[in-house]
């Protein structure tokens, strides 16, 4: 397709899109619980009503039904990353096996077992509470978009085989039989407890389960201050105060007033689009009968999956705003999505007549080690769990369980692992953060097509210890 033809296709496709997450644009969204007012006592207060906070509330109540558990959410449940992701479920609790090998080579076996247990417990809980979140357990597939990426992907495949994953290597013909794209050269398809989920339905189901267990959830209730009061904690909101024994900060990319979190997390913004439902004839043009969740090997990766009504969700276009803005104007500007739409039509030129229905952005809690980490504050009476770096749809359950274990001081072998004990490293503050991020994202946007200084810069940034 010529540049002019491509621009016409993109402009036509984007012209009637809504600026909101497809997942949240759903008549089955529950009403908000009331905002918190007055004074209350609790055993545990959880700040944040995303997956981490909701799982923490459920698991805390399951462990001890007599515990008074309160969730305070600044917006509505699933307002944050949990209502906005691609929704690909992965067995790994930390951005895949290759990342486990990079960060904690000594602990791979333990991390693999934790990942499998996490998914088994995740599945069992969904069955127990009757949560219907359109889950399809069809695996996750990484596709090489360049011949040069095949050898690295093959190494990743070998690593998966070594650790006993149910994984298949697909050559060019094999991958085209799964999903037709002129870009796909080969793939690794892992079918180990992985697939796709409707994330907002998952969050709403977890909310309903938590309420049923007796958790008190307050929405539109932002924590405005957190302090220690003897052996208790005081949580302030705009209109009230909760005195609690323990506090769980499940705030993902938000730093919850803790400068220590801000030093270790960059709140970046990723962008996503949803197409209109594909017709049967359009589906035939691409295949995708096995409906896997897919990542590609572009340096700034794209991810893609189908919805229950056969839309394609396609994401992966990251930006950063000075200070980590959570509500940037660019999320509502169509120009922001041009690069993403171009990547989509380059991947699937045969879908040139498909229209885009929804466009949105969401916060990513980028950490240098690409995995959840835990920090204790106020002599262990508060804990933070975050840093998933865009990989927490299932891993957030592990984050919740581990955060609760650290809060209660449980003596469990998994709490002694480095993943639970060691924090992610410091990231330079502003304005260096903004300058570094700007150059890096500019380099990422064109490195695969243009190379040059971009490659040199990204190599330098990697050597400093920042993966992407």
Ligand X SMILES: Cc1cc2nc3c(=O)[nH]c(=O)nc-3n(C[C@H](O)[C@H](O)[C@H](O)COP(=O)(O)OP(=O)(O)OC[C@H]3O[C@@H](n4cnc5c(N)ncnc54)[C@H](O)[C@@H]3O)c2cc1C
Q: Which residues contact residue 385 at a Cβ distance below 8 angstroms, ignoring those fewer than 6 apart?
A: 52, 56, 248, 249, 250, 372, 373, 374, 399, 400, 402, 403
Place of tokens 């959880």: 46
Counting contacts by CB under 6 A, is residue 87 touching ligand X?
Answer: yes
What's the min distance (Å) between Cβ of 195 and ligand X? 11
Q: Which stretch binds ligand X (CB under 6 A): 47-55, 331-339, 373-381, 432-440?
A: 47-55
Specify whether the CB–CB gap between 93 and 192 falls below 8 A. Answer: no
Nearer to ligand X, 86 or 186 (CB): 86
Counting contacts by CB under 6 A, is residue 244 touching ligand X?
Answer: no
- Burial of 142 by CB count in 10 Å (0-12 exposed, 13-18 middle, 19+ buried)? buried
Specify whether the CB–CB gap between 83 and 219 falls below 8 A. Answer: no
Size of the site for ligand X (CB under 6 A): 42
Nearest Cα residue to 203 out of 303, 60, 305, 87: 87
Three-state helix/strand/coil letters over 434-457 = HHHHHHHHHHHHHHHHHCCHHHHH
Q: Is the dihedral of CA 276, 280, 281, 283 positive or negative?
A: positive
Counting contacts by CB under 6 A, is residue 52 touching ligand X?
Answer: yes
> DSSP readout, 301-356?
--EEEE-TTSPEEEE---B--TT--SS-GGGG-GGGGHHHHHHHHHH-GGGTTPPE
Q: What is the DSSP letter of 428?
A: -
Q: Which stretch binds ligand X (CB under 6 A): 27-35, 50-58, 183-191, 416-424?
A: 50-58
Which residue among 46, 47, 286, 306 contacts ligand X (CB under 6 A)? 47
Q: How far is CA 460 from the centre of its chain?
A: 26
What's the min distance (Å) between Cβ of 197 and ligand X? 9
What's the min distance (Å) between Cβ of 198 and ligand X? 12
Which residue among 9, 53, 153, 187 contacts ligand X (CB under 6 A)? 53
Q: Which stretch binds ligand X (CB under 6 A): 70-78, 115-123, 134-142, 183-191?
A: 70-78
Q: Which residues in 353-412 contact ligand X (CB under 6 A)?
A: 362-364, 386, 388, 390-393, 396
Counting contacts by CB under 6 A, is residue 252 touching ligand X?
Answer: yes
Q: Which residues in 188-227 contact ligand X (CB under 6 A)?
A: 222-223
Counting contacts by CB under 6 A, is residue 56 touching ligand X?
Answer: no
Counting contacts by CB under 6 A, is residue 82 touching ligand X?
Answer: yes
What's the min distance (Å) between Cβ of 4 and ligand X? 30
Q: Assign residue 409 a region: left if phi > 0, alpha if psi is -120 to 50, beta otherwise?
A: left
Counting contacts by CB under 6 A, is residue 80 touching ligand X?
Answer: yes
What's the min distance (Å) between Cβ of 213 and ligand X? 18
Nearer to ligand X, 204 or 391 (CB): 391
Nearest Cα residue to 273 out of 342, 329, 365: 342
What's the min distance (Å) between Cβ of 221 and ligand X? 7
Residues facing 39 on adjacent strands: 241
Is the N-terminal amide bond of 431 cis, ω within 30° of 0?
Answer: yes
Binding mask 264-303 for ligand X (x = CB under 6 A): ------x-x------------------------------x
Q: How many CB atoms lie within 10 A of CB 447?
A: 19
Tell me which residues touch ligand X (CB under 6 A).
47-53, 72-75, 79-82, 84-88, 90, 222-223, 250-252, 254, 256, 270, 272, 303, 315, 362-364, 386, 388, 390-393, 396
């Amino acid at each position: 397709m010529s540049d002019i033809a491509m621009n016409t296709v993109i402009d036509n496709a984007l012209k009637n899109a809504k600026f909101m997450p497809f997942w949240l644009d759903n008549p089955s969204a529950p009403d908000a619980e009331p905002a918190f007012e007055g004074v209350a006592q609790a055993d545990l207060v959880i700040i944040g009503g995303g997956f981490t906070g909701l799982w923490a509330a459920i698991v805390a109540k399951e462990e001890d039904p007599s515990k008074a558990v309160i969730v305070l959410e600044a917006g509505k449940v699933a307002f944050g990353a949990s209502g906005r992701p691609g929704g690909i479920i992965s067995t790994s609790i930390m951005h895949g096996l290759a990342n486990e090998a990079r960060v904690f080579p000594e602990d791979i076996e333990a991390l693999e077992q934790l990942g499998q247990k996490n998914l088994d417990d995740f599945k069992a809980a969904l069955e127990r509470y009757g949560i219907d979140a359109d889950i399809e357990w069809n695996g996750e597939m990484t596709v090489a978009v360049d011949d040069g990426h095949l050898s690295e992907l093959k190494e990743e495949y070998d690593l998966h085989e070594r650790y006993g994953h149910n994984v298949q290597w697909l050559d060019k013909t094999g991958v085209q039989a799964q999903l037709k794209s002129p870009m796909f050269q080969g793939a690794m398809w892992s079918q180990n407890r992985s697939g796709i989920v409707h994330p907002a339905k998952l969050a709403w189901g977890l909310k309903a389960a938590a309420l049923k267990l007796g958790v008190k959830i307050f929405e539109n209730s932002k924590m405005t201050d957190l302090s220690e009061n003897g052996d208790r904690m005081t949580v302030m909101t705009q209109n009230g105060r909760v005195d609690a024994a323990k506090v769980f900060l499940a705030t993902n990319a938000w730093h919850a007033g803790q400068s220590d979190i801000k030093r270790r997390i960059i709140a970046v913004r990723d962008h996503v689009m949803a197409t209109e439902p594909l017709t049967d004839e359009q589906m035939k043009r691409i295949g995708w009968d096995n409906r896997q969740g897919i990542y590609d090997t572009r340096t700034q990766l794209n991810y893609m999956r189908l919805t229950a009504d056969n839309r394609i969700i396609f994401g992966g276009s990251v930006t950063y705003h000075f200070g980590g803005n959570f509500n940037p104007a660019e999320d509502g500007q169509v120009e922001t999505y041009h690069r993403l739409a171009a990547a989509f039509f380059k991947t699937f030129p045969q879908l040139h007549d498909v229209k885009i229905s929804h466009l949105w952005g969401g916060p990513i809690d980028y950490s240098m080690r690409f995995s959840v980490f835990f920090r204790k504050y106020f002599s262990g009476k508060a804990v933070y769990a975050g840093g998933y770096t865009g990989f927490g749809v299932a891993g957030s359950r592990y984050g919740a369980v581990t955060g609760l274990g650290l809060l209660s001081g449980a003596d469990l072998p998994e709490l002694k692992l480095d993943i639970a004990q060691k924090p992610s490293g410091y990231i330079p503050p502003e304005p260096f953060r903004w300058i570094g991020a700007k150059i890096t994202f500019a380099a990422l946007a064109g490195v695969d097509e243009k190379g040059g200084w971009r490659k040199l810069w990204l190599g330098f940034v990697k050597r400093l210890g920042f993966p992407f």
